[in-house]
């Protein structure tokens, strides 16, 4: 099964300022993209996990990146390296989605063992390894493979979307 992907982030910003007889403007386009072919070397990925998930009020889950997640075809995947991670909290959430700092065997190569990212409702987080980077963000099966996702509070559930693109070796 082949996997080809384009992972990107982009921002377009236009700022204007009214002057006496005219207006000044500054236009910014910022885009970074990585194209990955199918495989496990630099510039390649061969595994993808994506899902929309719901966490109960105050709920947490540890996503096991090595052997427990399934691809779109129902096949269990084991990631040795993550080349791209995208997590987006639903805009309708009341609580935040907190990513990182699993209680044991943390996947710490992105955020370190205690690091977290807080996604307010509607927020998106993305991390993309460079195309020339053969390692990406390493996953250690059984020793460093859990990505914790948590609902920041009680009262209401949270919904989030996740996409993980990586390599099996």
pLDDT per residue, tens digit, the chain (169 aa), is: 789 999 999 999 999 999 999 999 999 999 999 999 999 999 999 999 999 999 999 999 999 999 889 999 999 999 999 999 999 999 999 999 999 987 788 888 888 878 899 999 999 999 999 988 889 999 998 888 999 999 999 999 999 999 999 999 9
Burial of 9 by CB count in 10 Å (0-12 exposed, 13-18 middle, 19+ buried)?
middle
Domain with 117 in it: what CATH number?
2.60.120.770
Using CA atoms, how far apart are residues 85 and 157, in angstroms rounded to an integer?
A: 22
pTM above 0.85, yes or no: yes
Q: Would residue 18 count as lying in a domain?
A: no
Q: Would residue 45 count as lying in a domain?
A: yes
Q: Would residue 7 count as lying in a domain?
A: no
Range of the domain at 98: 40-167
Q: Would residue 33 count as lying in a domain?
A: no
Q: Would residue 6 count as lying in a domain?
A: no
Number of compact structural domains in the chain: 1
């Amino acid at each position: 099964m082949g996997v080809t992907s384009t992972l990107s982030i982009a921002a377009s910003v236009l700022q204007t300022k009214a002057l006496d007889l005219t207006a000044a403007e500054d236009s910014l386009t910022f885009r970074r993209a990585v194209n990955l072919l199918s495989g496990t070397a630099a510039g390649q990925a061969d595994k993808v996990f994506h899902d929309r998930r719901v966490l109960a009020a105050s709920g947490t889950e540890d996503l096991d990146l090595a052997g427990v997640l399934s691809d779109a075809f129902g096949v269990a995947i084991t990631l040795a390296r993550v080349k791209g991670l995208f997590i987006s909290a639903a805009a309708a959430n009341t609580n935040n989605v907190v990513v990182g700092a699993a209680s044991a065997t943390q996947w710490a190569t992105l955020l370190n063992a205690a690091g977290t990212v807080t996604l307010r409702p509607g927020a998106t987080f993305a991390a993309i390894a460079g195309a020339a980077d053969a390692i990406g963000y390493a996953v250690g099966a059984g020793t460093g493979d859990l990505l914790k996702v948590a609902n920041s509070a009680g009262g209401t559930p949270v919904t989030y979307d996740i996409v993980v693109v990586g390599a099996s070796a």
